[in-house]
Structure 1
Amino acid sequence: MTDGMTEITVVGDDDVDIVVEMTAFLFERDVDITGLDQAAQEETVRTTVQVDTSEMATSRETLREDLDDLGDELGVNVQVRFPADRETQSIAVLVTKESHCLEALLEAWVDGDLGADIEVIIGNHDDLQPLAAKYDVPFHDIGDENGTPDEGRLLDLLDDHDIDLIALARYIRILSPEVVFRYESRIINVHPSLLPAFPGASAYSQAVEEGVRIAGVTAHYVTTDLDQGPIITQRAFNVPDGATKTDLQERGQPLEAEALTEAIKLHIDDEITVRRGQTTLRNPEETDAQLGAPEELDRQTPDRPIDVDEFVVGDLDETVSADD
């Protein structure tokens, strides 16, 4: 989201000429369009409009209501995010049965370290409802007896709570392309491997089977390609001889919670940017964020020998290229 700009996102069928309708709608209210982007997926189109609302001839509340009415009239979903909303962003946490990541996020929120509010917790099982109740956060179980989620209800809950960011706190379900498409660049997942290694299910088991000596975890943005979204933070740990899946879980789960919490903070504080599928720190000299391993690792890594452009062979004073 561009600093100082209001962002309007419209998702609907591709037979609706939303650009024409939105242009006329905003012109009538003295709202200037500063940027527009469209993306399509099958028969669904997402239109993102960045506008300047500093001199609009209406209130924010009225603009929201009018946009809702326009969405109902056109049969599309409309969301609006004003610049000030960034200071109090709302988070929905999606969970299954594992509690460690959810508890870490709740503790960071209560301590005032998260930078946003956890508005709702949504699960495909009800196992973590007591934990949500402990922190007085609404909990909704959207799964059937097999844990299959009702994604229509999920989208309704996200709309009802005006969610800015979705955190997948060990949510053991693959989000449908429709959900990912609507919240692109606003969903963060934590995966129990050093991606791109061992994507998909049973990552710790895969690590044991392959005999890796170093394993880890990754927090990343979610895309429609499973576990291939831009990487935000990673943490690593040594794998002892004879380690089992349970051993890796015990070592990895605290790091999962740490990596996910750190990634969410970076997103909320607008400290990261994504270019060509890779994340970078927006102002690296102004942050102590830990995207990878601790700095101690750099001091342990040998710095010699390395390839050089040219070197001298023997006593012949013969210059040889490093590419030879």
Structure 2
Amino acid sequence: MVAVTRELTEITVVGDDDTGLIAEVTSLLFERGINIEDLDQAVREGVFRMTMLVDTSEMVCTEVKLREDMAELAEGLGVDITVRFPKDRETQTIAVLVTKESHCLEAIFEAWASGDIDADVEVVIGNHPDLRPLAEKYDVPFHDIGDEKGTPDEDELLDLLAEYDTDLIVLARYMRILSPDVVFRYESRIINVHPSLLPSFPGASAYMQAIEEGVRVAGVTAHYVTTDLDQGPIITQRVFNVPPEATEEELQEIGQPLEAEALLEAIDLHLNDEVYVHRGRTRLRDPEESDAQLGAPEELDARNPDRPIDGLGDIVAEGGEADD
């Protein structure tokens, strides 16, 4: 999937998998003079998703008419179709999903209050009510969608995301797996932070996994969410040393500030359109103009040894000279 740009309109189709869906939608676009620049589709657990980037600059209808036609088609096909024109993405809104841990949500609120987040934090949605007071402190609506066991009502979640016209979903230590029904509707617009250096130690209790495996360095990862658990494209990572005999609680104390830092940078990169996904890997649009720290600090490169390397011995044995 190519990156979403400000010039292309994004159309997303989500619903039960059925034959003919692609043909119906693409035919409608063709009839209205809309050129499809990129198309990506997937099916997971019986849910179909198609995302298209299209050029509407020369379409032979108005934006209102296209939305009306798409809504009529969606009703007939029994699917949901969302149309996002470039101007729809100029003022972005954020929905933050939480469970009980507060450190990432607090960091988001502090960055938002100081103007470091160039978007509006419109709503906080939790599967437990624990963080309601923190949201109220910043006058942000809080909605608890979990039952007594914390199981979320995803129909209510989707209704809330639509109500608040959400552009970006941030999982601030949200301890639930989103279904394809949610992920497919917000493809490449959901960011999660995970307490490990993915792809190592996915899933629950990542810090304990690191301790049990005896690693000497651990870390955290902010990534885009896909339907594969903790396997989405990595945006930012942070690394730290694991102290001898460290406990899970000690790693949490070290890692939580880094979780917040990695998540905030990932949010900033996404909102400023500095990062895009190409073949499952994130890239900076303009590396020379960005000071983003996607991986370890550049100082580490200078400290890494550069010898020996494969083939160097052969060069010396043949009487040549190795480059300094």
Q: Provide Cα deviations, 1:181-218, integer angstroms capped at 9, x if missing partner.
A: 33222211111111122111111112222232211101
CA contact (8 A) 1:188 1:219 kept: yes
Structure 1 residue 156: deviation in Å?
A: 1.7
Q: Which stretch shows the higher mean deviation, 259-268 or 179-188?
A: 179-188
CA contact (8 A) 2:99 2:128 kept: yes
* Pair 1:149–1:261, CA change in 2 (3 A): same
- Which of 199, 202, 207 is matched with 1:199 structurally? 202
2:274 corresponding residue in structure 1 = 271
CA contact (8 A) 1:180 1:224 kept: yes
Q: Given residue 152 of structure 1, which amino acid in structure 2 is its aligned partner?
A: D
1:86 corresponding residue in structure 2 = 89
2:67 corresponding residue in structure 1 = 64
CA contact (8 A) 2:45 2:180 kept: no
Query: What SS does the aligned partner of 2:107 have?
Result: helix
CA distance in 2, matches of 1:273, 1:176: 23
Give yes or no for the alignment of 1:188 onto 2:191: yes
Q: Given residue 223 of structure 2, which amino acid in structure 1 is its aligned partner?
A: H
CA distance in 2, matches of 1:38, 1:304: 45
2:79 corresponding residue in structure 1 = 76
CA contact (8 A) 1:165 1:186 kept: yes
Give yes or no for the alignment of 1:154 onto 2:184: no
Q: Provide Cα deviations, 1:39-83, integer angstroms capped at 9, x if missing partner.
A: 333433222233333344554345434533442343211111111
Structure 1 residue 161: deviation in Å?
A: 2.1
- Which of 243, 250, 254 is matched with 1:251 structurally? 254
Runs of at least 5 residues in structure 2 that lack an aligned partner in the other structure: none
Query: Identical aligned pairs, as a percentage?
Result: 70
CA distance in 2, matches of 1:83, 1:263: 21
CA distance in 1, matches of 2:199, 2:64: 44
Query: What SS does the aligned partner of 2:134 have?
Result: helix
CA contact (8 A) 1:13 1:76 kept: yes
* Aligned-residue CA RMSD (Å): 2.4
Give yes or no for the alignment of 1:293 onto 2:296: yes
CA distance in 2, matches of 1:195, 1:134: 33
CA distance in 1, matches of 2:230, 2:196: 10
CA contact (8 A) 1:87 1:116 kept: no
The count of aligned residue pairs is: 317
Q: Given residue 261 of structure 2, which amino acid in structure 1 is its aligned partner?
A: E
CA distance in 2, matches of 1:28, 1:223: 32
CA distance in 2, matches of 1:45, 1:210: 38
CA contact (8 A) 2:6 2:89 kept: no
1:1-324 aligned within 5 A: 1-15=4-18, 17-23=20-26, 25-26=28-29, 31-56=34-59, 58-311=61-314
Q: Given residue 196 of structure 1, which amino acid in structure 2 is its aligned partner?
A: P
Query: What SS does the aligned partner of 2:306 have?
Result: coil
Q: Which stretch shows the higher mean deviation, 264-273 or 62-71?
A: 62-71
Query: What SS does the aligned partner of 1:148 have?
Result: coil
Structure 1 residue 175: deviation in Å?
A: 1.4
Runs of at least 5 residues in structure 1 that lack an aligned partner in the other structure: none
Structure 1 residue 27: deviation in Å?
A: 5.5
CA distance in 2, matches of 1:190, 1:169: 7
For CA contacts below 8 A with separation 6 or more, give which structure has more relative contact order.
2
CA contact (8 A) 1:86 1:268 kept: no
* Pair 1:18–1:91, CA change in 2 (3 A): same
CA distance in 1, matches of 2:119, 2:298: 28
